[in-house]
Amino acid sequence: MLAVVPTGPGEVGLAEVDEVQPGPDELVIEVAAFSVNRGETFQLETDRPGWRPGKDIAGTIIQGGPRVVAHLPHSGWAERVVVPAHQTAVLPDAISFEQAAALPLAGLTAVRLLRTAGSILGRRVLLTGASGGVGHYVTELAAAAGAEVTAVVSSPERGARLLELGAETLAYDVADATGPFDLVLESVGGRSLPAALTKLRAGGTLIWFGQASREASTLDFFDFFKGPEAAVIKHFHYDSEPADGPDLATLVRLVATGRLHPELGRIEHWTTTGAVLDDLRDRRIRGNAVLTLGREHQ
């Protein structure tokens, strides 16, 4: 079967690989679409013998099974994949494979991030790196839960959809955001994190869930006395649950009922995966990027 494989630092191509062989309690899925995440562009920069990329897929269980969305640890960018049954959720016909493929990593991150934050009803929330896939989901879910969201984006064009999804206001630099905020959701790192920290109210919470800038952050102890005294900083990683199936089912239900809208910033045939990865790496894609395998997707 064909799969997208690493061909060099940051580079990929299509190649023949061994056919998948399911183990106990595993399903074989014929892949119709997969999404690519910016973090995967970073993983591709390192030589990892035997490893293939791919976490987010949607397709059909072989031999007449249902349509499903699934979250894998790796190797999802292929014609067929194997996945434990507890890592999948069944798709209703109203949700396309393209929409579904955009759900797993970004959607799971958003749901679990807000779960970690606790009740946000009536709270002022600052979200950095807001124009990516996670940011769109967080904005819509947080606004629907009653939060007042300020989204940090690089331009009005990248923020327009966030306003439609419920963001109260946009900021084009963390320093320009009008605080104080009860909660900061920080995904950029570098200078963004200490700048965002100063926007917290006393006793507020900053949840650090990414470092998209790939730059280390430095914190000054005395900055806490400039406003966010007694603030709490939490580290977050989305892969915190023993099974993804229940949260995937929640995401599917929210999309099916019109309460969550995957932002498909790019849909291309999977033969262009390398070019899409370059655009994602260089921030030329807003929301999620999805690749299709050229079959009927409905």
User: How far apart are the C-alpha atoms of 280 and 283, rounded to whole Å?
Assistant: 5
Please give the Cα distance from 43 to 28 (Å, whole number): 25
Q: Which residues have C-beta within 8 Å of that of residue 116, sequence separation ≥ 6?
A: 207, 234, 236
CA distance 122 to 238: 24
* Structure-block tokens of residue 140: 């819509």
- Residue 242 neighbours by CB distance under 10 Å: 6
Identity of the amino acid at 270: W
Q: What share of the chain is helix, strand, coil (3-state, %, to 5)?
A: 30, 30, 40
Q: How far apart are CA 239 and CA 113, in angstroms?
A: 11
**∠218-283-7 over CA atoms, to 5°?**
100
Per-residue confidence (pLDDT) for residue 241, from 0 to 100: 85
pLDDT at position 227 is 81
Q: Could you read off the pLDDT tens digit of each residue along the chain, which spans 298 residues?
A: 999 999 999 899 999 999 999 999 999 999 999 999 988 988 998 888 889 999 999 999 998 899 999 999 999 999 999 999 999 999 999 999 999 999 999 999 999 999 999 999 999 999 999 999 999 999 999 999 999 999 999 999 999 999 999 999 999 999 999 999 999 999 999 999 999 999 999 999 999 999 989 899 999 888 888 889 999 999 999 988 889 999 999 999 999 999 999 999 999 999 999 999 999 988 899 889 999 998 543 3
* pLDDT in the model for residue 297: 38
> Phi/psi zone of residue 116: left (φ > 0), alpha (ψ -120 to 50 degrees), beta?
alpha
Structural domains in the chain, sorted by start: 2-103+262-292 (3.90.180.10), 107-235 (3.40.50.720)
pLDDT recorded at residue 130: 96
